[in-house]
Structure formats: structure tokens, C-alpha cells
Chains A and B, each alone.
Chain A
Amino acid sequence: MTQAALLKTPLHRRHLELNAKMGPFGGYDMPIQYEGIIAEHLATRRASAVFDTCHMGEFLFSGSTVVDDLERLVSCPVASMKVGQCRYGFICNEAGGVLDDQIVYRLGDNEFFMVVNAATQPADYEWLTSHMSDTTSRENLTDATGKIDLQGPAAPKIMQRLMDELVGDMKFYRCKHNRYRGRKILTSRTGYTGELGFEVYCDPDLAVRFFDECLENGAKPAGLGARDTLRLEMGLPLYGHELNAERNPAESGFTRSISNDKEFIGSHRVLDSAAARDALVGLELSSRRAARAGDKVLVPDGAPVGEITSGSYSPCLEKAVALAYVRKDSAALGAMLHIDTGRQHLEAAVVELPFYKEATGRKRMEDYLD
């Protein structure tokens, strides 16, 4: 795809003004970094950072048949969700491969909001709507919706300063409508960093204003580079790396996001434990030298047992970490494995996820407010 064909978010001009390094992601020209990936990463862990995530897709589904439809279309339980609750789950194909991962928000008894990845958004919408009852109303809100993530232990204070209504009552993975500058804004206590924080959805012009006001209140602008290292330290999957149309999501370890007491598209395969050959593991390397996606994982005597899906230097652990799918019999905690980078073999140990254990995401928010 050429530069000219890339889409721009409403924040595009702001990124250029902030001297961001830009790069293509999911069809958009996106900020990779501003000051630097490590500085932005550490700011998110220690204070707060704000991310332009307007490239992501948002859908609205409603009607008397919506619960039954979504129950068949996503792997997480839907009918049991309370209004104001969010759930992470997979959209699978008939063979049990992952078309996308998503978060579904229950806005009302029969009204659901769904957030999906940018690159997969058009195909997701086509897949979901073609598998829904005619009686379920659907709307693709992607182009009309601005999305900003405010993340980090200082995020609650900034959020409370900017929102007209209370923020402190929001529990982890809950959403609510708030008012910002007198206008409606959907907020959720979610994110992709592991830290306390929020994702907000509003009109595109209001998203620009929110981003600016987060900066004025001390949040650091952070790009997709830090977003990737932050999610990797938490062991969170990235679509296209840990998840894809050929991969059984039961192997990802996110079994909490897979209901075993309902039928959904692909469930016969996803719920068949014999179909899961591999397990996603966290690997801690012996030095700062990183493994990269595609590197082969071997047992120390040389037989290949899997492949790296994501790898980077971890700014908080100050050593390299990686996620890999390996054969189940090589996936035990403490197992020593080798990684063939094409240049040399690196030593790695299978460790418990998340790599970073001090994240604030699930802490009591009131302890982080004035």
C-alpha cells in the first residue's frame, strides 16, 4: 500500500505537530513513537500516556434478537453480561480459527457496542452482519467514531478532572456514558497496557479535544511502538501475531474468554481439547537480545517445537521477552528452550504470564483518585 492510500485519523495533524515518527498500521498512517518507545512505555507504567486509537473499528448492534445472534458470533458469554459490562472474546470461523478478537459492551438489555481491530474491521462487519438475524439492527460506527486510550496510574485523576460526571465508580471492564465538554462520551475501564485506564469513544472532533486536554493535564503522547511493548509485557495477544484464522484460540490460554456451555461458530473445534496441539507461552530470554516473530523455537537438543509470535526488549524487566506457540509437552513452566534467530541460538525459559507483575489495571480506582 502506498503512503497516499493510507487513511488518516482525526489526530493526524496533531501527530505531525508533535513530530511523531509515522508508519502504516491497519491501513492507517499512525504514530509509532513521539519521544521514544521506552520513555513512552515507562510513562504509561509510572504516570499516564494517551494513545490515538481512532483507527479501530466500532459497531452497534441492537434489537430483540441481538443477544442470541452475538452469543453465536463471539466466544465469550453474552446473555449473562450485566448492562455496563464489557467482555473480551474471539470471533471465530467455522473451522475454529480466529477472524478477530473483540470487546463487546452491553449498553442496554438489547443494545451492544463492539470494538474490533482496524485491519480486520471491514471483513468483521461483513461476517457478523451476514450471520445475524434480519431483525437485529446493525450500524458500522467506525468512520463516525473517535477513540482515545488514556492509560496509567495517573489516568483516573486526569479522567475525573475532564469528565462532567463521576469516574471513580467504574470497576475493571465496566463501561458508562459520561459527559465531556457538555457532550456525550462512552467510556470504559479497559485498555491494552495492563494499567489503570480508560478507552473513550466520541465524535471525532471531541476526540481531538480530549487528546489535547490529556496532554495539558500531564499525559505523555504514546505511539503504537509503546502500545506493543506494553501489551507484550502483559502477555496480551495481538491479532496477526498470536491470533489468526488458522490458530485455535484455545491454544492462546485465554480460556476465560471462551464459553464452554454454549454453541458459537467454530465452538465444536475450539472446545475440542484434542484439537489443541500447542500452547502459547511466555519466554524470558537470558539477555537484552530479542527474539522476533517468525524465529524458530527448539528444545536444547535441536528439535523444533514452535515459533515466536512476538518478541522485544522489555523496558520494565530490562531483558528480552517473547511470546511463542510451542508443543504442549515443551510448554511447562521452567522449561529451557532455544530460539534460532537465524544469526545464533538464544536461551530462554518458559515463565508465567504476565511478564510484568506490578500493573495497576485491576487495582481499586479510589486509591488513585484525590
Chain B
Amino acid sequence: MTPNDRKYSTTHEWVKVDGELAVVGISDHAQEALGDITFLELPKAGTSVEKGTECGVIESVKAASDIYSPIGGEIAEANDALENAPEQVNQSPYDTGWLFKVKGIDHAEIDALMSADDYETFLKEQE
């Protein structure tokens, strides 16, 4: 089940608007593909990010991958609880496994991302 209260990027991040902020995480498909997540390097509060650029690292037992920011803005907060519990990203990718929050968001940029239905179609086309 892909939650339809948020948007999705082609690099498998999700974005959920929460007032002035946007919360960013990775999709269930992404966590499943990565396998057991063992380490995350998240962008620090105050750093600015651009849409589609690398802003962190996510490591699983097998490999390291980049985290891309699906939107532009400034990092308001990173999910520091993941430092000692990276498995939260596997267990709860849409809730407690969120990665970071962005402020100074461009709503039009977020609207242009995929809906849950579009993302599921995108995943089927990728197979």
C-alpha cells in the first residue's frame, strides 16, 4: 500500500507537506530493495538542498547508496533517532523511518512529483 497523502520521486523518495515543512523519506519499494539498513548519513539542519542532488548516504549490509533530495529548500531537521535505530527505515518507511524535514519549500515543485498511483505505475514500468 503506497500512502496517497504524499508525493513520490523517480529516485524513490516520498515528500509529505506538513504545514510550512515537507517531510522526506524513502518508499517501501526502496527500503525493500536496499535490504537491512545499517547506517545513514543525513543532511544537517541549516544546509540547503537542491532538487535531485545528493544530500546523504544510506548503507545496507550489501551496499552504500546516495540519498537524493526530491525537492529544494533548507534542512530544518534530520531524524537523529535513526543513528542508533536505522532499522526503523525498513520497519516503518512512511512513518518513524522519515529522513529529514525541509523548510522554504516550493509547493509547485512538490505538486509536480508523482502521486501514489503514478508512482505505483512507475514501479510496474521499471520491472
Contacts and interface: CB of A to CB of B under 8 A. Distances in A.
Interface string B21-48: 0000000000000011011010000000
A37 B62 contact: yes
B35 to A, nearest CB: 6
A313 B61 contact: yes
A288 B86 CA distance: 10
Nearest to A341: B64
A38 B63 CA distance: 14
B36 A290 contact: no
Contacts of B90: 36
A313 B57 contact: no
Interface in B44-63: 57, 59, 61-63
The interface residues of chain B, by DSSP majority, are classed as mixed
B41 A289 contact: yes
B39 A290 contact: yes
Contacts of A229: 61
B59 A313 contact: yes
B37 to A, nearest CB: 9
Given A225-B61, A288-B86, A312-B61, A36 B39 contact: no
B57 A343 contact: yes
Contacts of A341: 64
Nearest to B83: A288
Interface string A195-239: 000000000000000000000000000000100010000000000
B51 to A, nearest CB: 22
Nearest to B54: A343
Interface residues of A, number: 20
Contacts, number: 44
A33 interface: yes
A209 B58 CA distance: 39
A33 B61 CA distance: 11
A312 B64 CA distance: 10
Interface string A114-157: 00000000000000000000000000000000000000000000
B38 A290 contact: yes
Contact of A288 (B35, B38, B62, B63): B38
A38 B86 contact: no
Nearest to B41: A289
A33 B59 contact: no
Contact of B35 (A33, A287, A290, A343): A33
A37 B64 contact: no
A290 B62 CA distance: 10
A320 B38 CA distance: 9
Contacts of B57: 343
Nearest to A289: B39
A45 interface: no
A287 B41 CA distance: 12
Given A288-B86, A343-B57, A225 B39 contact: no
Interface string A15-33: 0000001000000000011
Interface of B: 35-36, 38-39, 41, 57, 59, 61-64, 86-87, 90
7 contacts: A38-B61, A225-B61, A225-B62, A288-B86, A289-B41, A289-B59, A290-B39
